[in-house]
Amino acid sequence: MWKWWLLLGMCFWVLVMFKLANKFFICSLNSFNEYSTKQNPIQLIVTEVNHLQVPMEKSLQRESEAAEKAPSKEELNWEHVQMERLELLRNVCRDEALRNVTHSRISRFVLDRIFVCDKHKILFCQTPKVGNTQWKKVLIVLNGDFSTVEEVPESVVHKPEKNRLSRLSSFSKPEIEKRLSSYFKFFIVRDPFDRLISAFKDKFLHNPRFEPWYNRDIAPEIIRKYRKNHTEAMGLQFEDFVRYLGDPNHRRLDIKFGEHIIHWVTYVELCAPCQINYNVIGHHETLQEDVPYILKKAGIDQIVSYPTIPPGITAYNKTKVKQNFSRISKRDIRRLYARFQGDFKLFGYG
Ligand SMILES: *[C@@H]1O[C@H](CO)[C@@H](O)[C@H](O)[C@H]1NC(C)=O
Ligand SMILES: *[C@@H]1O[C@H](CO)[C@@H](O)[C@H](O)[C@H]1NC(C)=O
Ligand SMILES: *[C@@H]1O[C@H](CO)[C@@H](O)[C@H](O)[C@H]1NC(C)=O
Ligand SMILES: *[C@@H]1O[C@H](CO)[C@@H](O)[C@H](O)[C@H]1NC(C)=O
């Protein structure tokens, strides 16, 4: 009889060893998958294996985890940069002399700009030409429709009926207020004049997304109203565009152009930064540092990654901006600055 018990015991032992070996094998496979998303089955298996490890290994592992969690020197410096940005914003918002150019109502237009992620309590205000498409991909991944940002097709990102991103404007007033007061809120800005050059190139010169209405409907309207020499038959020039933007009576055309104006109206008008208490304001020029900071502050750095930022695309080139404005009259530049003064001051661009 005892022989049977021994045999049974041995069988059990072999089974346990086999299972352990199996798990460690899967664990080593995982090292090839370091950059995949965290909540996959392999990851779950690894945490299971970790429970079986001997105590010393466990404590070592805890130490390294602690080291990972403690903020590095660079992170502390970046925290400092971010705090200074928010302080500057608060001070400029309080400046009565600038009130006109820094304040705007939390209108339907603003609520339409803000994307909501209820699952992770995040609000993201959309500001074009600063990598905003990439953040939309991040939100789509957080919604659970795709597991990585690389898998989200461009055709999905820009189609409201396909991307399933909800906007703050779709909620009731109390629901909006609840989210505004408790969610993590952020948006990205860049040098205001550089942004206008970029918008002009993207919508009126290159038009890579085949949006014909910019050159078919909007450009002729601006030319008719603002071009000085009507014998010149060329398409919209940067000079015409600047004159429209700097005109104190630009609103009449804005209303005609509808939503498309999001590409050139001020950040103040898009996101109401003095009315809404944003937690982080990223700068396109420092996106490389701001992206990990935002992901961490929003508590999603373990769940999702931002697409790789191509080197050089976020760099600000003063020479280029100056060249582009060299043909614009002093008066028009002054008027343009007057309109965008709020954006310049609030975000520290001068
Ligand atoms: C600010 O607003 C007041 C009242 O609407 C107006 O009279 C004034 O011209 C505005 N100033 C600027 C700089 O827009
Ligand atoms: C207007 O443009 C045409 C064509 O470029 C040019 O020949 C003409 O001299 C310009 N007129 C003025 C007043 O600049
Ligand atoms: C900045 O722009 C100018 C003019 O387009 C160009 O010649 C120069 O190489 C650019 N500088 C950098 C650092 O990219
Ligand atoms: C701005 O200047 C660069 C050269 O520095 C030129 O290639 C580009 O077309 C200009 N853009 C506009 C909008 O004038």
Distance CA 151, CA 218 (A): 34
How far does Cα 160 stand from its chain's mean position?
A: 17
Q: Are residues 143 and 199 in the same domain?
A: yes
Distance CA 127, CA 133 (A): 10
| Pocket lined around ligand 4, Cβ cut-off 6 Å | 197, 200-201, 238, 320, 323-324
Three-class DSSP category at 340:
helix
Q: Are residues 250 and 129 in the same domain?
A: yes
Q: Are residues 52 and 118 in the same domain?
A: no
**Which residues span the domain enclosing 40?**
2-66
Name which of 281, 275, 276 is nearest 294 in CA terms. 281
Distance CA 130, CA 187 (A): 9
Q: Are residues 168 and 209 in the same domain?
A: yes
Q: List the pLDDT tens digit at each of the 350 positions of the chain.
A: 556 665 556 655 655 455 544 444 433 333 333 333 333 333 333 333 333 333 444 444 444 555 556 777 888 889 999 999 999 999 999 999 999 999 999 999 999 999 999 999 999 999 999 998 999 999 999 999 899 999 999 889 988 888 999 999 999 999 999 999 999 999 999 999 999 999 999 999 998 888 999 999 999 999 999 998 878 778 999 999 999 999 999 999 999 999 999 999 999 999 999 999 999 999 999 999 999 999 999 999 999 999 999 888 899 999 999 999 999 999 999 999 999 999 999 999 98
Report CA(250)–ligand 4 centroid distance (Å): 24
Per-position DSSP letters for 178-201, written without gaps between them? HHHHHSEEEEEE--HHHHHHHHHI
Q: Are residues 58 and 132 in the same domain?
A: no
Among the three residues 66, 99, 122, which one is the final residue of a domain in this structure? 66
Identity (one letter) of the amino acid at 32? F
β pairing state of 280-283 and 166-167: unpaired
Q: Are residues 142 and 284 in the same domain?
A: yes
Q: Are residues 287 and 335 in the same domain?
A: yes
Number of structural domains found in the chain: 2
Q: Are residues 60 and 92 in the same domain?
A: no
Q: Running DSSP on this structure, what letter comes out for residue 206? A: I
Among the three residues 42, 66, 90, which one is the final residue of a domain in this structure? 66
Q: Are residues 12 and 148 in the same domain?
A: no
β pairing state of 114-117 and 122-125: antiparallel
Among the three residues 66, 88, 115, which one is the final residue of a domain in this structure? 66
| Pocket lined around ligand 3, Cβ cut-off 6 Å | 317, 319-320, 323
